[in-house]
Structure 1
Amino acid sequence: MGQGRPPTMRDVAEHAGVSISTVSRVVNAEKYVDPVTRATVEASVAALGFLRNESARTLRPGQRTATIALVVEDLTNPFSAELAHGVEIVAAASGYVVLLLSTGRDALGDRDQVREKEIVGELLRRRVDGVLMVPGDDDAEGRYAALAERAPIVFVDRLPKGVRGDVVLLDNAGGSRRLTQLLLDRGHRRIAYVGGDRGSGTGAKRYSGFRAALRAAGVREERDLLRFNQHSSEEARTATQDLLALPEPPTAVFCDNNRMTVGALLAVHRARADVVIGGFDAVELAEVLVDRVALATYDPVDVGRQAARLLVERMGGSEAPPRRTTVPVVLAEFGD
């Protein structure tokens, strides 16, 4: 079996010392296979890591599915919808259909690892021509590496630890630093931070940019103003309410994604507090807000387009070294 090539029925047949037709009957759970032979074939399937290609059952040899998979974490997040739109623009022009899948979140609000494992398993069985993945932070179980052995893959928003591959990133650290500097330039010194997992790739970079701006300005980071591990707008709203109730509340709140920004805006608006919100990611209808908000924004559609272009090149046979594309972030201010 060639290095990097997924095992075939022929490989299983040679390993088990049986015919390809016998392997086919076993993997398709057909009757009238000798129990000992079935056990031998199943042992070879397990040893080689063979996976039946579901799509291949309906395709002629050499025929492709003209399908690419886009795997995101949260379909309800506007980022995912706009990202998918950008991917579809390029995919349609190149003759591909996009299969959109979501890992979702578990009961604790974290990325649903069980669902992601199911998705990766299904993609391994089906002959998609390529995969676009908004991944987790590492590849501890080798899921992404397994995908990469069977189809070209491009990562979006982060590159998992321990994985080499094409990736389209946002300028997370730089954008956060510039946004925090904007708040500092407006005279704010008690700046709170409301965010998700500061240990994640994206969260860590945005938090590092926030801290770097404070250090450069000689402003001490106040531990009582930090609120991490918020997973929804509602949790962010509650965290911001808590900050506003402090004896010395913040005059500005940095939010590390659009869900945090929406929650913080709700809390500030309901409390009628004189607090500026600084948020990473675009927020719909920000220009009509009466509360003051500054945003570090980018074009998710362009992120999707760039990632899809890289994938199309890989599916076309490109063997260039792994490429890293960074999408710029711009600042915008809204409200009074």
Structure 2
Amino acid sequence: MGAGRPPTMRDVAEHAGVSISTVSRVVNAEKYVDAATRERVEASVAALGFLRNESARTLRPGQRTATIALVVEDLTNPFSAELAHGVEEVAAAAGYVVLLLSTGRDALGDRDEVREKEIVGELLSRRVDGVLMIPGADDASGRYAALAERAPVVFVDRLPRGVKGDVVLLDNVGGSRRLTRRLLERGHRRIAYVGGDRGSGTGSKRYSGFRAALKAAGVPEHRELLHFAQHSSDEARLATQDLLALADPPTAIFCDNNRMTVGALLAVHRARADVVVAGFDTVELAEVLVDRVALVTYDPVDVGRQAAGLLLERLDGVDVAPRRITVPVELAEFGDRQQVHR
């Protein structure tokens, strides 16, 4: 079997010492294969990592399905919906149908690794022309690399460690640094941080920008003001309640994604606290809030358009080194001040 290509039925047949037709009968669960032979073929299938291409059986060589897959983490997140809108807009214009899939979260609120593995397995076995994916932080299991060997893949929001590929990113470090610097310019010195996974590519970069702004201003971090590993708006709300209950509470709270911002806003609003909430990502109806809120904003629809554009170029045969697009961000302030954009 050649390096870098997926195993075929011929490879399995050679490994198991049987004919290709026997392998075909085993993988298609047909009759007339004795138990010992079936077991040997199944062992070879597992050893080589062979996956049956479901749709390839009905397609002529070189024929496409005109289908691309978009894999997100949370379908309820407005970012995912707007991203999908941008992807579909570009894909439809080029004659492609978009298959939308979600990894979701497990019982602990973490990214559902089991579900993601199942999705990647399905994408490997069911022929799609290309994949757009918001991945995890790394590729320890090699599943993203395996997927990229089967079809063009463009990653969105983060590039998993250990994988080379096209990626569309946000200016996470720069946006967080600018927003934190704005809070410092407003006179805030006790700035709390409410975030999700500090170890993820996105989370680590946003925290890095936050820390860089504090360091540049000579303002120390306060451990009691740092809350990580929040997985939902409700958890962020509870973390914010704890912050507001401190003897010396923060005067501003930086939230590293829109779910965190919504939870913090709820807690601050219910406590009638004089605290500015600052967050990364747009929050719906932010302009009608009476509480003070500052946001790092960008256009998720445009992120989807750019990612889909990269994928379609690959499908059209563009063969260049992996490309990286960084989407610029803006600052916006709402609440008891006039809205300001920079």
Following the alignment from structure 2 to structure 1, what is the Cα–Cα distance between the partners of residues 52 and 72?
Answer: 25
TM-superposed CA distance for 1:62, in Å, is 2.7
Q: Any idea what the Cα deviations from partners look like across 1:186-218, whole Å, max 9, x if unmatched? A: 111111111111121111111111111111111
Residue number in structure 2 paired with 1:83: 83
The normalised TM-score by structure 1 is 0.96
Provide the C-alpha distance between the structure 1 equivalents of 2:227 and 2:36, rounded to a whole number of angstroms: 60
Letter in 2 for 1:108: L
Q: Once structures 1 and 2 are overlaid, which stretch shifts more, 318-327 or 48-57?
A: 48-57
What is the Cα deviation at residue 9 of structure 1? Answer: 2.1
Alignment partner, residue 11 of structure 2? 11
Cα separation, 1, equivalents of 2:12 and 2:317: 27
Partner of 1:128: 128
1:21–1:292 distance in 2 versus 1, CA, 3 Å:
same
Structure 1 residue runs of 5 or longer lacking an equivalent are none
Mapping for residues 276-291 of structure 1, pairs under 5 Å: 276-291=276-291
Alignment-mate amino acid for residue 308 of structure 1: A
Tell me which residue corresponds to 1:148: 148
| 2:52 pairs with 1:52 | yes
CA distance in 2, matches of 1:296, 1:281: 6
Counterparts of 1:252-291 in structure 2, within 5 Å, are 252-291=252-291
Q: Which residue type is aligned with residue 232 of structure 2?
A: S
Instruction: Give the TM-score of the pair, scaled to structure 2.
Output: 0.95
Where does residue 159 of structure 1 map in the other structure? 159
Distance 2:277 2:261 in 1: 7
Q: Does 1:22 align with 2:35?
A: no
Distance 1:70 1:197 in 2: 22
- Does 2:251 correspond to 1:251? yes
Q: Would you say 1:314 and 2:321 are equivalent positions?
A: no
Of 55-64 and 97-106, deviating more is 55-64
SS at match of 2:268: helix
AA aligned to 2:66 is A
Match of 2:69 in 1: 69
CA distance in 1: counterparts of 2:96 and 2:2, whole angstroms: 28
Tell me the CA shift for residue 267 of structure 1: 0.8
Partner residue in 2 for 1:191: 191
Equivalent residue letter for 2:277? I
Deviation of residue 60 (structure 1)?
3.1
Q: Secondary structure at the match of 1:282?
A: coil
Q: CA deviation at 1:12?
A: 2.7
2:32 is aligned to: 32
Higher mean displacement: 39-48 or 172-181? 39-48
Identity of aligned residues (%): 87
Letter in 1 for 2:102: S
**Helix, strand or coil at the partner of 1:122:** helix
> Within 1, Cα distance between the matches of 2:2 and 2:96?
28
The amino acid across from 1:225 in the alignment is: L
1:251-301 per-residue CA deviation (whole Å, 9 max, x = no partner) reads 111111000100111111111111111110000011111111110011111
Query: One-letter code of the match for 1:46?
Result: A
User: Is residue 241 from structure 1 mapped to residue 244 from structure 2 by the alignment?
Assistant: no
RMSD: 1.4
Deviations 1:137-171 (CA, angstroms, capped at 9, x unpaired): 01111110110111111111111111111111111
Distance in 2, Cα, partners of 1:177 & 1:53? 46
What displacement does 1:17 show?
A: 4.3
Write out per-residue CA displacement over residues 43-67 of structure 1, whole angstroms, 9 at most, x where no aligned residue: 4323332211111233233321111
- Which residue identity lines up with residue 287 of structure 1 in the other structure? E
Give, as a single letter, the amino acid of the residue that structure 2 aligns with 1:190. Answer: R
Structure 2: any 5+ residue segments left out of the alignment? 337-342
Question: Which residue pairs with 2:97 in the alignment?
Answer: 97
| Alpha-carbon shift at residue 33 of structure 1 (Å) | 1.9
Structure 1 runs (4+) greater than 3 angstroms displaced? 13-19, 34-37
Query: Which residue identity does 1:45 align to in structure 2?
Result: V
